[in-house]
């Protein structure tokens, strides 16, 4: 009997689970597409490469999609049981709610363990591939990486400078200067143009540039005859329109999968992050110690070696300002004011540096702890969802969806809030990683207790009767209709 019941409960759970997971996963992936869309357009990427990049980026969202799916699926499953009076029938047969929840609790524990393994082993690998692929995609379109007014050597074999760069994708340029970096035995060539435009080439191994109103300056070194080079040392060609193709196959052939970035903490699993945290803690301690010594030296250079040097002569006391001449007194006050202002500016700059160090250290810790924390969130969300479903006794996509969204929003806001506080140094990162779970677990335990005791938690009449004495205080006594 119990085997059939367990199978029925699990089957009823996985129906909405697969549907909800697919929908939520699609929604989160669409959000990623909107954020990363600018990096896909104008790159000459194939559909397969775009799909591969989206697959790398979308793996991360499983950490949030799976707990939310468990929450919503458990509410819908037990809500359907209550709405169809199946829950009442099971209880009438002597089966407790705890026994009914037991098979799904075991499934949730397995899903939590799966999420831990997925976060610990799969996500770091895909994070590495995604970050390196994004880096290499940016390198395949040099036009988007040019800085106006600066000479840049991104195109192999050329040094280029553009005075202005405009357009949605940085395709329009003005004030063009292109110099071919040739050796001593090759012809030296420079191109100057008023304006130009980058155009998508048929072959993505080439960068197509259309230039307008310019000149080509070329020093002829191809002829070995010295006297001929003297007669025609260089030449100038004026053009109205010039189409140039630059070979960027060296950049393309780095491959979109090439791993140029290898030292990011998000590429590591739970165990590897322990050594990264220890290393970051040690480096931060050394940097802060150096900053402290620097501030002390800026305050007074004598303090840095006061314990190491024995003065030969007695130190003269600082003269009182009242005994100084007005001009000397003014000079000393001006010097002190300048020194104080310099120390204030130095202190502000060091304060920013220390905050950045702490922020990076907190990011590593929170990334590590969330590998395990999100797995525990799955279990907490199951307790909340199954209890709410058995209490409200409503299935479908109406009220359960609303309640699940409210619970998830509370969790998500808590997550973001403590994350920002930890990065700002206002909260311990270990506490920040677990605080959302610590807040929601008592709520889940309380809801489970209410469900096991058949509490009418959402019975409006119950709350109305409790508040009736208070409501009557603000109501006027109405005369009975019969006595009017």
Mean pLDDT of the chain: 76
Ranges 92-96, 121-125, 221-225, 371-375: which has the least confidence: 221-225
Instruction: Give the 3-state secondary structure of 90-131.
Output: HHHCCCCHHHHHHHHHHHHHHHHHHHHHHHHHHHHHHHHHHH
Interval 292-309: pLDDT, tens: 666 666 555 545 555 555
| pLDDT bracket for residue 255 (50, 70, 90) | very low
Q: Which helix (H) or strand (E) holds 272?
A: helix 270-299
Summarize the confidence of residues 29-55 as an average pLDDT.
72
CB-based contact 22:66 (threshold 8 Å): no
Q: What is the pTM of this model?
A: 0.64
Mean pLDDT of 159-164: 84
Burial 14-28 (b: 16+ CB within 10 A, else e): eebbeebbeebbeeb
Residue 65, classified by CB atoms within 10 Å of its CB into exposed (0-12), middle (13-18) or buried (19+), is: buried
Query: How many angstroms separate the Cα of 294 from the Cα of each of 288, 291, 435?
Result: 10, 5, 37
- Residue 143 is predicted with a pLDDT of 43
Contacts of 298 (CB under 8 A, 6+ apart): 342, 343, 346
- Higher pLDDT: 79 or 229? It is 79
Q: What is the pLDDT of residue 144?
A: 44
Asked if the model's pLDDT at residue 205 lies above 80, the reply is: no
Q: What pLDDT, on a 0 to 100 scale, did the predictor assign at position 140?
A: 52
Q: What is the mean pLDDT of residues 236-249?
A: 76
In DSSP terms, 245 is beta-bridged to 208
Q: In what order do the strands lie in the sheet with 234-247?
A: 158-166, 172-180, 188-199, 206-219, 234-247
Tokens linked to 121: 């082993």
**Does the pLDDT of residue 237 top 90, yes or no?**
no
In whole angstroms, give the CA distance from residue 138 to residue 145: 8
For residue 139, pLDDT over 70 is answered with no
Start-to-end CA span in the chain (Å): 66
Question: How are the residues of the chain apportioned to helix, strand and coil, as percentages rounded to the nearest 5?
Answer: 65, 10, 25
The pLDDT tens digits for 55-94 are 888 888 898 899 999 998 888 888 888 888 888 888 888 8
Judge contact between 20 and 69, C-beta under 8 A: yes
Report the distance separating Cα 476 and Cα 473, nearest Å. 8
Question: pLDDT tens across 413-463, in order?
Answer: 998 898 888 888 788 889 989 999 999 999 888 888 888 887 666 555 565
């Amino acid at each position: 009997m119990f085997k059939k019941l367990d199978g029925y409960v699990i089957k009823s759970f996985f129906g909405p689970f697969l549907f909800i997971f697919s929908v939520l996963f699609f929604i989160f992936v669409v959000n990623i597409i909107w954020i990363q869309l600018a990096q896909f357009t104008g790159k000459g990427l194939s559909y397969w490469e775009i799909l591969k990049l989206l697959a790398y980026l979308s793996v991360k969202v499983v950490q949030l999609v799976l707990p939310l799916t468990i929450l919503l699926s458990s509410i819908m499953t037990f809500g359907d049981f209550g709405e169809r009076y199946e829950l009442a029938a099971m209880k009438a047969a002597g089966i407790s709610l705890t026994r009914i929840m037991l098979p799904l609790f075991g499934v949730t524990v397995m899903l939590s363990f799966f999420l831990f393994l997925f976060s610990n082993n799969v996500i770091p690998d895909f994070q590495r591939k995604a970050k390196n692929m994004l880096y290499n995609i940016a390198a395949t379109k040099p036009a988007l990486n040019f800085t106006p007014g600066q000479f840049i050597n991104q195109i192999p074999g050329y040094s280029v400078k553009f005075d202005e760069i405009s357009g949605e994708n940085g395709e329009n340029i003005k004030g063009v200067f292109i110099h071919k970096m040739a050796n001593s035995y090759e012809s030296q060539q420079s191109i100057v143009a008023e304006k130009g435009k980058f155009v998508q080439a048929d072959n993505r191994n080439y960068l197509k540039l259309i230039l307008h109103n310019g000149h080509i300056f070329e020093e002829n070194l191809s002829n070995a005859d010295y006297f001929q080079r003297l007669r025609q040392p260089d030449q100038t060609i004026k053009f109205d329109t010039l189409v140039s193709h630059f070979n960027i196959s060296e950049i393309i052939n780095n491959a979109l999968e090439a791993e140029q970035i290898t030292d990011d903490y998000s590429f590591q699993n739970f165990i590897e992050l322990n050594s990264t945290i220890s290393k970051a803690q040690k480096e931060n301690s050394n940097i802060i110690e150096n900053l402290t010594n620097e501030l002390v030296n800026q305050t007074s250079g004598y303090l840095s070696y006061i314990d190491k040097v024995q003065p030969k002569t007695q130190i003269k006391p600082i003269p009182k300002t009242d005994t100084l001449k007005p001009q000397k007194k003014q000079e000393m006050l001006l010097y002190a004011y300048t020194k104080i202002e310099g120390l204030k500016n130095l202190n502000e700059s060091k304060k920013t540096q220390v905050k950045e160090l702490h922020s990076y250290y907190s990011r590593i810790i929170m990334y590590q702890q969330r590998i395990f924390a999100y797995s525990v969130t799955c279990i907490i969300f199951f307790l909340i969802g199954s209890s709410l479903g058995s209490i409200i006794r409503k299935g479908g996509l109406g009220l359960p969806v609303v309640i699940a969204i409210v619970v998830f929003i509370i969790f998500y806001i808590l997550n973001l809030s403590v994350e920002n506080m930890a990065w700002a140094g206002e909260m311990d990162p270990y506490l920040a990683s677990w605080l959302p779970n610590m807040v929601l677990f008592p709520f889940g335990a309380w809801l489970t207790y209410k469900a096991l005791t058949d509490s009418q938690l959402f019975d409006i009449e119950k709350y109305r009767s409790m508040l009736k004495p208070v409501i009557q205080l603000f109501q006027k006594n109405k005369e009975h209709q019969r006595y009017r």
